[in-house]
Structure 1
Amino acid sequence: MTVLHYDIVGSFLRPKVLKDARSAYENGEIDLEKLRQVEDEQIKDLVEKEIQVGLKVVSDGEFRRSYWHLDTFWGFDGVLHTIPEHGYFFHGEETRADSAQVNGKIKFTPTHPDLAAFKYLSGLVKDKPGITARQSIPAPAQFYAELVRDEENIAKLKEVYQNQTELFNDIIQAYRDLILALYQAGCRDLKLDDCTWGMLSDTELWQKIAGPDFDPESLKELYLKLNNAVLVDQPADLRLSTHVCRGNYHSTWAAQGGYAPVAKYLLAQELVDAFYLEFDDERSGDFTPLKETAPGKQVVLGLVTSKTPKLESKEVLAKRVKEASQFVPLNKLALSTQCGFASTEEGNILTEQQQWDKIKLVIKTAKEIWD
């Protein structure tokens, strides 16, 4: 497997024609088939641009999703799309109010939208040597966190599941079935997006959420156990990675704090091949926690922000990569944006051209450092 030293997290700003089509569909002006045609066309165009700019691992931009995580949850049997009283609270902004709530036993279904999405993406690159189609899905821990997000979700959960063991078994099986289906469809690069670790890095936030007597260590153990139960014994030729950030909505953020509180769980023990980590500003702390990274694992440094259009200095980026190499060998490091450009369909506050300028900066800087 070729080792790349430049990468992206995966979501792209939605083109206006795609946003218009989604709005028209929601208003009953076009049918689902027409929406899918627009999505197909825009994804095909995006993939061509990704390849032209020099990316070797491509995504579909998450163009079929409204959220980076909820659409995957809604795709499982036994999960309902609900509208809670509040959205997620970010720094100075509240998101749209959507959630995922259990209304039956959780199961994978062959009609899961992520499987169909990957099959289309894979078909676009099957005759392009050296290009890999990546599928991103939210981590199992993120799914569990959504199911216990508020009192209403917890109450519904208790109506269906009498104990946590039964719930975890169904989550694990549903995820393993989804991953197997993706693998059988040709997926060899799978990324699990996971904000749970980023939220746990913010100790002040957790004290506000759960109270001063809450023991975060038990939750870290739970998240690790749940994720690893899905990741264990996966095919050797399936590259597994996880992306961790502290929230990415309309150029805002939800949490802050370095990785020290979670490093001994996440970096030392999670069964992935690579960690995509947010490091674009002081909210993410310094590189010291990287010393906990298990030997042989790759760390993809998210040093280029996807939140603002200003381009970083290549010299500063190179300096920061060198600093990180004190804790992880240089040949095990890579460079990327800290997150996607549109974790939700709203997107961050920059233009499509500025988005591509960021990606070009990542590629050019990485080639100067590693080539």
Structure 2
Amino acid sequence: MKSLESDGHEAKQTIPAPAQLFQQLIVPQNIETTRKFYATNDELIEDIAYAYRGVIRQLYDAGCRTIQFDDCTWGAIVGDAAAQRYKSLGLSLDVVKNQLLHVNNLAIEGKPADLQINTHICRGNYHSTYFTSGPYDSVADYVFARENVNTLYLEYDDERSGGFEPLSKVSADKVVVLGLITSKSPKLEDKATVIARIKEATKYIPLERLKLSPQCGFASCDVGNKLTAFSVLSAIAKEQLLESVK
């Protein structure tokens, strides 16, 4: 990765969030196998975090200074089916949210001071589709307020993500990257509309702590999204709009 960096730019490494692995191991279809090795979720969390701390240190020692957690768990737990899914395991959503938060924070614990760790809350991006909907309100007190990352990348390209009110819960040490530019459709957003949405977000978080980006990757899977090269470049150009907000 270092060989691909140009002058004045640093490559970042993206990896699945610790919570992503934890969540996959405790879903109903996997929990029976997981219990053969881990009697409790607390034991599982300790081992996942330990492994991640090792990987994070190896990446840092190799020269990496920015790591991004790609985390689908927070987007999934706001969906209507989440409560029923975990109820079958005898877990309340509040318990699961605390465990997701704990495994991520435990993995980050002790990181070097000059290592930036960010997280992207993903809602699915397979070939211009999605897998979950729901506002951030029910998870804001956890991931927005208490997850020890530097930056939150949040999908906000359509009504599935709800309003900006939960941004008031973001702790003062975090930057928020608003994913207002869709990566799912070749239709470009109206400039005035994007600027208006940024101004709306500033009711809940100061402009100086806001950035702008696509809501997710342009090609999160091998088949990519239903986009042309021109629409991708045009969407990237739209990211400069933040400078127009006064």
Say if 2:145 is the partner of 1:254: no
Question: Which AA in structure 1 matches 2:12?
Answer: R
Match of 2:98 in 1: 221
Deviation track 1:148-168 (CA, whole Å, cap 9, x = no partner) reads 3342x3232222333333322
Contact 1:258 1:283 in 2 (8 A): yes
Match of 1:124 in 2: 4
Match of 1:148 in 2: 26
Larger relative CO (CA 8 A, sep 6+): 1 or 2? 1
Task: Flag structure 1 segments of 5+ consecutive residues without an equivalent.
Answer: 1-120
Question: Which AA in structure 1 matches 2:114?
Answer: D
Larger radius of gyration: 1
Written as runs of structure 1 = structure 2, the 5 A alignment for 1:24-35 is none
The CA distance in 1 between the partners of 2:93 and 2:113, in whole Å, is 32
Q: Shift in Å at residue 207 of structure 1?
A: 3.6
Deviation track 1:127-160 (CA, whole Å, cap 9, x = no partner) reads x331110111111010111223342x32322223
3-state SS, counterpart of residue 321 of structure 1 = helix
3-state SS, counterpart of residue 191 of structure 1 = strand
Deviation track 1:43-89 (CA, whole Å, cap 9, x = no partner) reads xxxxxxxxxxxxxxxxxxxxxxxxxxxxxxxxxxxxxxxxxxxxxxx
Say if 2:235 is the partner of 1:355: no
Task: Flag structure 2 segments of 5+ consecutive residues without an equivalent.
Answer: none
The percent identity for this pair of structures is 43
Q: Shift in Å at residue 323 of structure 1?
A: 0.7
Q: Shift in Å at residue 208 of structure 1?
A: 4.5
Contact 1:296 1:332 in 2 (8 A): no
Q: Shift in Å at residue 367 of structure 1?
A: 3.4
Written as runs of structure 1 = structure 2, the 5 A alignment for 1:77-116 is none
Match of 1:309 in 2: 186
Written as runs of structure 1 = structure 2, the 5 A alignment for 1:134-173 is 134-151=12-29, 153-173=30-50
The CA distance in 2 between the partners of 1:260 and 1:156, in whole Å, is 33
3-state SS, counterpart of residue 126 of structure 2 = coil
Using the size of structure 1 for normalisation, the TM-score is: 0.63
Q: Which deviates more, 212-221 or 188-197?
A: 212-221
The CA distance in 2 between the partners of 1:160 and 1:211, in whole Å, is 22
Deviation track 1:216-241 (CA, whole Å, cap 9, x = no partner) reads 10100000011000112211111111
The CA distance in 2 between the partners of 1:171 and 1:189, in whole Å, is 20
Deviation track 1:309-329 (CA, whole Å, cap 9, x = no partner) reads 100111111111111011111
Match of 2:155 in 1: 278
Contact 2:28 2:85 in 1 (8 A): no
Contact 2:86 2:93 in 1 (8 A): no
The alpha-carbon distance between structure 1 residues 297 and 174, as it changes in their structure 2 partners (threshold 3 A), is same
Contact 2:18 2:104 in 1 (8 A): yes
3-state SS, counterpart of residue 228 of structure 1 = helix
Question: Which AA in structure 2 matches 1:169?
Answer: E
Question: Which AA in structure 1 matches 2:75?
Answer: G
Deviation track 1:183-218 (CA, whole Å, cap 9, x = no partner) reads 00111111111111111122x222443459852101
Q: Which runs of 4+ in 1 moved over 6 A?
A: none
3-state SS, counterpart of residue 63 of structure 2 = coil
The CA distance in 1 between the partners of 2:85 and 2:44, in whole Å, is 23
**Quick one: which of 183, 188, 197 aligns to 2:74?**
197
Say if 2:226 is the partner of 1:346: no
The alpha-carbon distance between structure 1 residues 338 and 145, as it changes in their structure 2 partners (threshold 3 A), is same
The CA distance in 1 between the partners of 2:225 and 2:207, in whole Å, is 31
Match of 1:38 in 2: none
Say if 2:212 is the partner of 1:323: no
Contact 1:189 1:238 in 2 (8 A): yes
Provide the aligned length of Structure 1 versus Structure 2. Answer: 245
Deviation track 1:314-346 (CA, whole Å, cap 9, x = no partner) reads 111111111101111100000000111122222
3-state SS, counterpart of residue 152 of structure 2 = strand
**Quick one: which of 152, 167, 177 aligns to 1:290?**
167
Say if 2:246 is the partner of 1:366: no
Contact 1:240 1:272 in 2 (8 A): yes
The alpha-carbon distance between structure 1 residues 148 and 344, as it changes in their structure 2 partners (threshold 3 A), is farther
Contact 2:46 2:103 in 1 (8 A): no
The CA distance in 2 between the partners of 1:146 and 1:199, in whole Å, is 12
The CA distance in 1 between the partners of 2:106 and 2:119, in whole Å, is 15
Q: Shift in Å at residue 287 of structure 1?
A: 0.2
The CA distance in 2 between the partners of 1:200 and 1:179, in whole Å, is 26
The CA distance in 2 between the partners of 1:254 and 1:177, in whole Å, is 31
